[in-house]
C-alpha cells in the first residue's frame, strides 16, 4: 500500500472478532508497527435540503423508517409511477419535476370547485368549505374549514425533489407521481375513487381517455368508517391483478379500520410518532399491516386559505401522512427489483418491519398488536427486494 503498509488477504471471510484477534497477534510481533483489520466503508447519503433535518420519518428516531440506510442501496427509479388519489396537486417547485399530468375524477360540479366535472386537469383549486356548503353536503357544519392542499402534502412525502437546496426531500429521489384528483369539497364519493383507482393502473373507464402512464403503486390517503364495499373490493382486486399495490391510510378516528384500508389486499397503514407510539388519532386493530411515521410530518403545501397562494411547507399529522412513507418504500423496492408482484411486496414489506419498542402502545401483547406487524423499515424492505432480485425470481416463491 501507499505509506508502506501491507495488506494480508485470508483464504475465506472471517468474523470481525476473528479479524481483531489476528490483528492483535500480529501487532504483538516486535517487527510490526501496527496491525488492524481492513474494513468496508459505505456511502453516507443524506439530502442537502434545508428542511430535511425536520423530516424525522426518514432519519434516525426510534419510530423512523430508516430511509437514510435504504438510500445507500436505491434512491428510486423514473420507471416507477406512483398514483396519488387525493385532492389533486399544486405545481410546487419542490415537486413539479416529478409530476405527470394525471386526471380529475371529481364528477359533481357542485363540489369540484373547478366549475365542471371530470376533466384532464388534476390541479387542486382548493377544498375549503363554508358553513352553507357544509350543510349542502350532509346537513351539518362538520365540513367547514380552510383548503388543505392534502394531495400536495402526500405527494411531497413520496417524491419531493431531493438535493435541490430548497425545502425538504421525498422518500424517492427519482420517481414519477401521477396525481389523480378524487376529493373536492366535503371529500369525494366512492364511485369517483373506484373509477380513479382502476384508471390509475391502466384499466379502462367509460368516458375517460386511457391512462398512458399506468402506476405500480396507488396511494389512497383517504377513507371512511364504512366496511369494505363490494364495489371497492372489486376495484382493489382489479388493481392488484393488474400488478399494482394499494397503500391505504388506516383512518384518524381512533377506531377500527374502514374502507379502503379494510379491504382485502390493501396495505393498511397506522400512524406512529418518533418514539414508536401509536398516534392517539390513528385507527388500529387486527386489520393493520404496519405502522409508519404520521406525526409532525413536514412536506410540500400551499399558503392559500381558500384559493392557491404561495407554495410553502406545512407540518401535518395523520395516517394520510403515514401511508406515503410506505408507498415511497415500495417505490425503492421496485427500483431494486421491478419484477416484484404486489403479493411479494406485501410479504417482504411486512416481513421486514422492526419490532415496536417495549412498553409502546403498539407493542405486541398476548392478544396481538394494535398497529400491525411492526414499524416500517425501508432499509430492510429494500434489502429483501435486492435479495429477491439476485435470486432471479422476482420475489416469487418456488418449490414442489
pLDDT of residue 393: 55
Q: Rg for the chain (alpha carbons), in Å? A: 23
d(CA 336, CA 388): 9
212 and 164 in a single domain? The answer is: yes
For residue 59, give the C-alpha cell. 432519519
* 8 Å CB contact between 161 and 97: yes
Contact by Cβ (8 Å): 167, 153: no
The answer to the question of residue 46 being in a domain is no
Q: Is 171 exposed, middle or buried (0-12, 13-18, 19+ CB in 10 A)?
A: buried
Pair 191, 286 in one domain: yes
Task: Supply the pTM of this predicted model.
Answer: 0.87
Residue pair 137/301 in contact by the 8 Å Cβ criterion: no
The grid cell for 330 is 415500495
Q: Residue 397: what pLDDT? A: 37
Asked if residue 268 belongs to a domain, the reply is: yes
d(CA 313, CA 172) in angstroms, rounded, equals 18
Report the pLDDT value the prediction gives residue 398, as an integer from 0 to 100: 32
Residue 398 within any structural domain of the chain: no
Q: How far apart are CA 320 and CA 270, in angstroms?
A: 9
Cα–Cα distance for residue pair 194/231, rounded to 1 Å: 8
The answer to whether residues 8 and 112 belong to one domain is: no
Task: Say how many domains are in the chain.
Answer: 2
The reply to whether 182 and 146 lie within a common domain is yes
Indicate if 4 and 108 belong to the same structural domain: no
Cα–Cα distance, 346 to 338 (Å, whole number): 14
Give yes or no: residues 162 and 24 share one domain: no
* Residue 329 and residue 250 share a domain: yes
One domain for residues 84 and 112: yes
Neighbours of 359 (CB within 10 A): 9
Residues 149 and 22 in one domain: no
Distances (CA, A) of 21 to 7, 15, 37, 210, 266: 16, 10, 9, 65, 51
42 — alpha (psi -120 to 50), left (phi > 0) or beta?
Answer: beta
The CA dihedral of 205, 207, 209, 213, to the nearest 10 degrees, is -30
Output the pLDDT for position 39. Answer: 62
Query: Whole-angstrom Cα distance, residue 229 to residue 258?
Result: 10
Q: What are phi and psi of 218, to 5 degrees?
A: -120, 115
Q: Residue 145 belongs to what domain range?
A: 52-391
378-391 and 319-336 helices, crossing angle to 10°: 30
Q: What is the CATH classification number for the domain harbouring 165?
A: 3.40.50.200
Give the span between the Cα atoms of 278 and 269, in whole angstroms. Answer: 11
182 falls within a domain: yes
What's residue 395's pLDDT?
44
Are 36 and 56 part of one and the same domain?
no
- Contact partners, residue 268, CB within 8 Å, separation at least 6: 248, 250, 257, 261, 262, 287, 288, 289, 372
Q: Confirm whether 255 is domain-assigned.
A: yes
How many other C-beta atoms lie within 10 A of the C-beta of residue 221?
Answer: 28
Tell me the per-residue pLDDT of 224-235, one tens digit each, with 9 for 90 and over.
988 999 999 999
Q: Could you say which residues of the chain have pLDDT below 50?
A: 41-44, 394-400
Cα–Cα distance, 372 to 356 (Å, whole number): 10
Asked if residue 45 is part of any domain, the answer here is no
pLDDT, position 400: 28
**Is residue 47 domain-resident?**
no
Q: Give yes or no: residues 15 and 67 share one domain.
A: no
Partners of residue 291 on adjacent β-strands: 270, 375
Q: Which residues are catalytic?
A: 86, 150, 320
Same domain for 235 and 335: yes
Other CB atoms closer than 10 Å to residue 174's CB: what's the count? 19
What's the CA angle centered on 258, arms 131 and 330, to 5 degrees?
110
Amino acid 40: pLDDT: 55
Amino acid at each position: 500500500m501507499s505509506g508502506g503498509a501491507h495488506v494480508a488477504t485470508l483464504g475465506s471471510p472471517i468474523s470481525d472478532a476473528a479479524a481483531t484477534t489476528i490483528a492483535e497477534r500480529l501487532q504483538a510481533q516486535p517487527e510490526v508497527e501496527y496491525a488492524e483489520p481492513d474494513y468496508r466503508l459505505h456511502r453516507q447519503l443524506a439530502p442537502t435540503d434545508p428542511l430535511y433535518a425536520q423530516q424525522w420519518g426518514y432519519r434516525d428516531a426510534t419510530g423512523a423508517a430508516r430511509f437514510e440506510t435504504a438510500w445507500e442501496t436505491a434512491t428510486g427509479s423514473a420507471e416507477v409511477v406512483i398514483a396519488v388519489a387525493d385532492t389533486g396537486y399544486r405545481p410546487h417547485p419542490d415537486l413539479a419535476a416529478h409530476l405527470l399530468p394525471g386526471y380529475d375524477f371529481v364528477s359533481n360540479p357542485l363540489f369540484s370547485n373547478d366549475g365542471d366535472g371530470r376533466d384532464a386537469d388534476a390541479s387542486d383549486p382548493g377544498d375549503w368549505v363554508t358553513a352553507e356548503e357544509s350543510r349542502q353536503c350532509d346537513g351539518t357544519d362538520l365540513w367547514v374549514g380552510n383548503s388543505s392542499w392534502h394531495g400536495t402534502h402526500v405527494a411531497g412525502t413520496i417524491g419531493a425533489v431531493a438535493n435541490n437546496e430548497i425545502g425538504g426531500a421525498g422518500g424517492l429521489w427519482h420517481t414519477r407521481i401521477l396525481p389523480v384528483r378524487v376529493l373536492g369539497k366535503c371529500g369525494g364519493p366512492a364511485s369517483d375513487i373506484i373509477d380513479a383507482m382502476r384508471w390509475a393502473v391502466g384499466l379502462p373507464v367509460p368516458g375517460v381517455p386511457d391512462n398512458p402512464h399506468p402506476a405500480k403503486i396507488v396511494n389512497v390517503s383517504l377513507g371512511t368508517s364504512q366496511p369494505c364495499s363490494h364495489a371497492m373490493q372489486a376495484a382493489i382486486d382489479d388493481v392488484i391483478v393488474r400488478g399494482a399495490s394499494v397503500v391505504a391510510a388506516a383512518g384518524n378516528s381512533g377506531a377500527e379500520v374502514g374502507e379502503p384500508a379494510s379491504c382485502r389486499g390493501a396495505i393498511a397503514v397506522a400512524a406512529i410518532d418518533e418514539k414508536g407510539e401509536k398516534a392517539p388519532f390513528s385507527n388500529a386493530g387486527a386489520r393493520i399491516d404496519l405502522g409508519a411515521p404520521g406525526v409532525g410530518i413536514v412536506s410540500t403545501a400551499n399558503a392559500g386559505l381558500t384559493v392557491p397562494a404561495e407554495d410553502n411547507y406545512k407540518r401535518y399529522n395523520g395516517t394520510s401522512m403515514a401511508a406515503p412513507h410506505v408507498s415511497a418504500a415500495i417505490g425503492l423496492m421496485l427500483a431494486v427489483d421491478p419484477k416484484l408482484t404486489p403479493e411479494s411486496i406485501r410479504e417482504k414489506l411486512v416481513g421486514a418491519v422492526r419490532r415496536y419498542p417495549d412498553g409502546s402502545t403498539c407493542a405486541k401483547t398476548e392478544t396481538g398488536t394494535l398497529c400491525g406487524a411492526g414499524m416500517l423499515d425501508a432499509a430492510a424492505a429494500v434489502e429483501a427486494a435486492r435479495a429477491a432480485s439476485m435470486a432471479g425470481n422476482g420475489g416469487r416463491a418456488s418449490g414442489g
